[in-house]
Amino acid sequence: MIRGMLSELNRRGFLGGVGAAAIFGANAGTLLAQSTMAPGLAITIDDFDLANSPLMSGEVRDAAIRECLKRHGVQAAGFVSGKFIDPELAPRILRGWSDEGHVIGNHTFSHAYFSGADPAGFMEDVLVCEPLLSGYASFQKLFRFPYLAEGRTAEGRDTMRGLLAGHGYRNAHVTIDTSDWFVDNRLRARLKDDLGADLAPYRQFYLDHLWERASYYDGLANALFGHSINHTILLHHRLTTALFLSDAIQMFRERGWRIIDADMAFRSAEFELVPQALPAGQSLLWALAKTDPQLATGLRYPGEDGKYEAPKMDALGI
């Protein structure tokens, strides 16, 4: 166990001023059990841009995603930006998500980047989105920052954290960040030129990418805690999710991972940690590792981006 002692976690500042006993005391048994368990994986899907895409309309795409989750017995979490909620389609789709037990969370109205410069204005954007979501039974006050950007200054970061807590919101952290959106952009561009293009290379790249990033972030979890954790993976309401999510779930299960409900992941003790890294945000695990001198040297910024995947896809001609 590299950094399994709670006193070591506290000394290195991973708890951000929150006492180890307060976070881990009631959950010590759970954390001990996790040390011998395979990593868990919860599906979380951002944005809910329901615009039509090649091969599928927004409504058909959503139906495919929800059918996949139902078939695999998985309850996911969807983080919805209010600007995508139209008066006809979105309420019908969100009602389906809620009726099927998937968590619905807040992703701001305008999906703006939070630099830390105007926390009050950013909080207003969160609150404008809330009434569009709060009428659904599965809505929870879970908030996910667009672009996983939580502020570039300590003052902006901490003020925003205080505002969210004051309104009853918890940070819906991502532990496994991905660039699925970039793979989707490449696929849609190809389909725009040739609607009959072969999907197989994009499927394989998508699966390889998710596995590579999941393995990397689970490695960070083991370096930080001495064991795997219940992860949340960041995906988007995109064509790639509709086409390949079932393959991804099957892949993770075949490789020994547990597919878990999102609500279970968000209740894990690790999600109560308060990272002190700047710039704030990225994966929760990235942010925790950033404060460790030994782990920080191996981190890239941003953690995920299309610029890392473009050369690989170029080399494959996709």
Tell me what pLDDT residue 37 has. Answer: 85
DSSP collapsed to 3 states, 231-257: EEEEEECCHHHHHHHHHHHHHHHHCCC
Reported as a single tens digit per residue, the pLDDT across 282-313 is 999 999 999 999 999 999 999 999 999 999 99
Rg value, the chain, Cα: 19
Q: Is 128 exposed, middle or buried (0-12, 13-18, 19+ CB in 10 A)?
A: middle
310 φ, ψ to 5°? -55, -50
Closest listed residue to residue 161, CA positions, set 20, 21, 275, 290? 275
CA distance 54 to 83: 22
Tell me what pLDDT residue 35 has. Answer: 52
What letters, b where the CB count within 10 A reaches 16 and e where it falls short, cover 217-243? bbebbbbbbbbbbbbbbbbbbbbbbbb
Q: Is the CB of residue 113 less than 8 Å from the CB of residue 147?
A: yes
Query: Strands, E, within 246-306: which ranges?
Result: 258-259
CA distance 309 to 119: 32
At 279, which helix (H) or strand (E)?
Answer: none
Enumerate residue ranges in the chain where pLDDT < 50. Answer: 1-34
Reading the block at residue 301, the tokens are: 């910024």
Q: Is the CB of residue 178 less than 8 Å from the CB of residue 305?
A: no
Contacts of residue 103, defined as CB under 8 A and 6 or more positions apart, other chains included, come to 75, 76, 77, 78, 138, 140, 142, 262, 263, 266
Tell me what pLDDT residue 36 has. Answer: 60
